[in-house]
Amino acid sequence: MQDPVGFLYNWLIGILTRWGLAAAVAHVLITLLGILILVICAMVLDIFLVWIERKVVARFQDRLGPNRIGPWGIFQPFADIIKLLIKEDITPAGADVIVFNLAPILSLASVLLLWAVLPIAGVIYGVDLNVALLYIVAAGAIGTLSIIMAGWASNNKFALVGAYRMVANMISYEIPMVLILLIPAILTGSMSMLTISRAQSQYWFVLVVPLATLVFLISAIAELGRSPFDLNEGESEIVSGFHIEYSGMKFGLFYAGELLHAFTFGAFISIMFFGGYNGPGVTQMPILGIFYFVLKAMIGYWVIMWVKYTVPRIRIDHMLYFNWKFLVPFSLAILIMTALTHKLLSGYSTPVYILGMLCANLILGWITIEILRARARKQRQSVDPAAQVIAEQVHH
């Protein structure tokens, strides 16, 4: 059982060529079968994620969540899907029909495309692209495009304003995300997800670049459009934003796409910084990698949910300031520091390397916190001159 995918592939190719099909056609058919299996697994996982999300948000809010349908409410998402499927398909007056219908399709498609490069185990992956990191950024951009399509085609002021703000948010936070994506590329010398996973068999990258992990987590949450950066689910602000006019299965696709996107980003964080499918016993039995991968991705997804249900929403201008005035300079500083220290320390033994990088990270983090504290002190002292006058009088 060292290579189940290869084994299945050879067996099926043997059968199909014996039936008389040309080898190329058989290859395409088997590839399509593999893709269908992967996509169906992703969608079934998506259904499971809806249930997890609802139970977890309920527990965070000190209530139970769905528990009527099936044990622990596990069939609730199926009931939701049936409800969404039999709802009427309302297209608002004046909406641009083709773009209106295409937006949810592209939104879910952009998330599904990311699953082509995820290494679920050492031997189970879609395709080992040698430019996987760039591919991820490109596929994510299709999702951003679908938001503008949804907002524009809805013929609704709120949808349009919501879409503008959401896209301004997403493109802003794409910069620190892509800059941090460069860090595993520096550490391994390759953009392929499989190579990055394999390179972490000795130690996880989070030990070497913890600051980068933190920045990637923050910018990933912003890129997903989830709280605390979710201007669009701001019911009190702009009434549900760009998916106001969507009802039924189209809304279901947006919602399912968002949850699957969150899980996929949890998977990315685990692949790039927490070792991916690596774990004890993976070299002997590669299938065990699936278990470790799903476990780590679930933990990543849990952290993303935890942040969502704990922290209040951030205003748009604060969000953009936070990105352009803090995260972008910070991630550039992390990039410069990581490149320099990696180059200087790469000749030494592993413990020296890890300790050196960790120290450099800690020093950079300490400098950043000192700068932020100095700025906060200056801002506090300059905010209220009347308070300063009173403070001086009290001191006298």
Partner 1 sequence: MQSWLYILLFMIVAVFVPFAAILTARILGPRKPNPIKQSTYECGMETVGESWVQFKAQYYVFALIFLVFDVETVFLFPWAISLNALPLFAVVEGVIFILILVSGLVFTWRKGLLEWN
Cβ-contact 333, 340 below 8 angstroms: no
Cβ-contact 341, 356 below 8 angstroms: yes
Binding flag, residue 8, partner 1 (CB under 8 A): no
Nearer to partner 1 by C-beta: 7 or 324? Answer: 324
Minimum Å gap between C-beta 320 and partner 1 is 6
Nearer to partner 1 by C-beta: 315 or 380? Answer: 315
Classify burial at 29, counting beta carbons within 10 Å of its beta carbon; exposed 0-12, middle 13-18, buried 19 or more.
Answer: middle
Q: Which residue is associated with the tokens 């641009």?
A: 96
Classify burial at 168, counting beta carbons within 10 Å of its beta carbon; exposed 0-12, middle 13-18, buried 19 or more.
Answer: middle
Q: Which residue is associated with the tokens 């952290």?
A: 303
Cβ-contact 2, 288 below 8 angstroms: no
Buried b (16+ CB within 10 A) or exposed e, 294-303: bebbbebbee
Residues 151-210 that bind partner 1 (CB under 8 A): 154-158, 160-161, 164, 168, 171-172, 174-175, 178-179, 182, 185-186, 189-191
Binding flag, residue 354, partner 1 (CB under 8 A): no
Binding flag, residue 359, partner 1 (CB under 8 A): no
Minimum Å gap between C-beta 62 and partner 1 is 31
Among 64, 98, 336, 352, binds partner 1 (CB under 8 A): 336
Among 23, 25, 41, 85, binds partner 1 (CB under 8 A): 85
Minimum Å gap between C-beta 128 and partner 1 is 7
What is the sign of the dihedral through the CA atoms of 232, 229, 217 and 148? positive
Kindly state the number of chain residues that form the binding site for partner 1, as judged by CB under 8 A: 81
Residues 244-263 that bind partner 1 (CB under 8 A): 244-245, 248-250, 252-253
According to DSSP, the residues that pair with 119 across neighbouring strands are 125
Range in contact with partner 1 (rule: CB under 8 A) among 110-118, 225-233, 261-269, 361-369: 110-118
Binding flag, residue 91, partner 1 (CB under 8 A): yes
| Residue 112: Cβ within 10 Å count | 19
Q: How far is 265 from 250, CA to CA, in rounded Å?
A: 22
Residues 277-296 that bind partner 1 (CB under 8 A): none
Determine the 3-state secondary structure of 226 from DSSP.
coil
Residues 16-55 that bind partner 1 (CB under 8 A): 28, 31-32, 35-36, 39, 43
Range in contact with partner 1 (rule: CB under 8 A) among 70-78, 306-314, 315-323, 348-356: 315-323
Range in contact with partner 1 (rule: CB under 8 A) among 47-55, 67-75, 238-246, 306-314: 238-246
Binding flag, residue 235, partner 1 (CB under 8 A): no
Q: What is the Cα gyration radius of the chain?
A: 24
Nearer to partner 1 by C-beta: 32 or 285? Answer: 32
Range in contact with partner 1 (rule: CB under 8 A) among 212-220, 281-289, 324-332, 349-357: 324-332
Minimum Å gap between C-beta 150 and partner 1 is 13
Alpha helices in the chain (DSSP H): 4-18, 23-60, 76-85, 97-114, 132-153, 157-188, 193-198, 210-224, 235-238, 249-273, 288-308, 316-321, 328-345, 350-383, 385-395
